[in-house]
Amino acid sequence: MNKRYLMAPGPVAVAPEVLAKMSEPIIHHRSPQFSAILTKVREDLKYLYQTKNDCLILASSGTGGMEASVVNLLSPGDKALVIRGGKFGERWDELCHTYGVKAVNIDVTWGKAVDPQEVKKVLDANPDARAVFVQAHETSTGVKHPVEELGKLIREKPATVLVVDAISALGVYELKTDDWGLDVVITGSQKSLSLPPGLAFVSVSEKAWKLVEKAQLPKYYFNFLKEKKAIEKQTTAFTPAVSLIIGLAEVLRGIRATGLPALFAHHRRLSEGTKAGVTGMGLEFFSTVPSEAITVIKAPEGIDGQNVVKILRDEYGITIAGGQAQAKGKIFRISHMGYLNEWDMIVALAAVERALNQLGYPIELGKGVAAAEAYFAQNK
């Protein structure tokens, strides 16, 4: 039997009841029926985001939300600070470069978090920076950047906004958009929302809307002002991804019913249980600031991490993720996002133990599993 498990940090496994909702007949997007769904979804998104501001819904992957933020906030020749500590931090720099924005990069060693004092220093030296671009959680390294501290710093700067890629953070752990002063927060459907890929979400603060009104970078489809007008009419600027939004309505209904604290506790528990298993196996972590979204494991001496990922995928039917760019071969990553529970984590750990043995790295089978089981049994 070829049973498959999806435990990569996006796309993630989707619950059967959500898949069933999305397979219902398509309804027209300019109908009272759809407007009612959209209005409810927009309210529930504010709950998820912990914001009073509107959250725009775009039909794109998460990168579309990042690109939309750049073109809607900035003008040609503007300056922006970029925290670059992984593949997705690099993406901010690439986007700035694409649109003629002068990026001042703050390079952070992969696996480490940015030091807010360093950001303060660079910000003080560049008072004309219009935006600071950062990841709440850098998925390529499993590091959480201190966005709450950055929010405090940037709140003091009337001409600068903080733009947070929270694609693998929002809905995973606490992220208080308004209280922490996060001006623009981006997420996507295929991570903690446990939906298929295809939707990006962007919240925009009052401070950020002031920049949007002045921004001169070219844009057509990703136009925040058009989206804002559409929200006032309970619709969208362009044809929305109807089925995904219907699935989203179901997911958000569930999140409101359980509440954010329970959602965060779920991810924390899967993460801590998995990390207990990894420690039990005698393996090490790549990130110095471990996240609840994923567990990033250093490939042991002499083992190519890509081979672990390959054996799991091709021989066991289990998809986890390897390292990207400079981390390729050095790490492998297990997701805690998506339709997963503790038993899935046990499966992942058992598979890692087996694969490492197959590759000639001796780990006593069941050691990691036992440690994880003990954690899960004691932390219900």
Ligand X SMILES: Cc1ncc(COP(=O)(O)O)c(C=O)c1O
Nearer to ligand X, 88 or 173 (CB): 88
Which residues make Cβ contacts (< 8 Å) with residue 51, sequence separation at least 6?
177, 178, 185, 203, 205
Q: Does 165 bind ligand X (CB under 6 A)?
A: yes
- Least Cβ distance, residue 281 to ligand X (angstroms): 25
Binding residue count for ligand X, defined by CB under 6 A: 12
The site map against ligand X for 169-188 (x = CB under 6 A) is -------------------x
Q: Tell which positions 83-122 bind ligand X, by CB under 6 A.
A: 88
Q: What is the SS3 assignment for 127?
A: coil
Nearer to ligand X, 81 or 294 (CB): 294
The single residue among 167, 193, 281, 296 that binds ligand X, judged by CB under 6 A, is 167
* Residue owning tokens 């700035």: 96
Binding piece for ligand X, criterion CB under 6 A, among 46-54, 163-171, 270-278, 333-341: 163-171
Nearest to 349 by CA among 270, 293, 286: 270
Which residues make Cβ contacts (< 8 Å) with residue 346, sequence separation at least 6?
277, 369, 372, 373, 376
Q: Tell which positions 31-90 bind ligand X, by CB under 6 A.
A: 61-63, 88
- Least Cβ distance, residue 106 to ligand X (angstroms): 17
DSSP annotation of 312: I
- Least Cβ distance, residue 168 to ligand X (angstroms): 4
- Least Cβ distance, residue 170 to ligand X (angstroms): 10
**In this structure, are residues 352 and 281 in contact, taking their beta carbons and an 8 Å threshold?**
yes
The single residue among 50, 51, 53, 139 that binds ligand X, judged by CB under 6 A, is 139
- Least Cβ distance, residue 303 to ligand X (angstroms): 24
Nearer to ligand X, 146 or 197 (CB): 197
Residue 256 CB neighbours (<10 A): 14
Q: Does 335 bind ligand X (CB under 6 A)?
A: no
Binding piece for ligand X, criterion CB under 6 A, among 160-168, 174-182, 326-334, 352-360: 160-168
**In this structure, are residues 70 and 99 in contact, taking their beta carbons and an 8 Å threshold?**
yes
Q: Does 294 bind ligand X (CB under 6 A)?
A: no
DSSP 41-109: HHHHHHHHHT-SS-EEEEES-HHHHHHHHHHHH--TT-EEEEEESSHHHHHHHHHHHHTT-EEEEEE--
**In this structure, are residues 132 and 163 in contact, taking their beta carbons and an 8 Å threshold?**
yes
Nearer to ligand X, 83 or 255 (CB): 83
The single residue among 6, 7, 8, 10 that binds ligand X, judged by CB under 6 A, is 10
Nearer to ligand X, 197 or 290 (CB): 197
Q: Does 135 bind ligand X (CB under 6 A)?
A: yes
Q: What is the spatial distance between Cα 195 and Cα 359, in angstroms, rounded to a whole number? A: 34
Q: What is the spatial distance between Cα 272 and Cα 290, in angstroms, rounded to a whole number? A: 10
Nearest to 369 by CA among 277, 298, 279: 277
Q: Shortest Cβ contact with ligand X: which residue?
A: 62
Q: Does 168 bind ligand X (CB under 6 A)?
A: yes
Q: What is the spatial distance between Cα 5 and Cα 12, in angstroms, rounded to a whole number? A: 10
Binding site for ligand X (CB under 6 A): 10, 61-63, 88, 135, 139, 165, 167-168, 188, 197
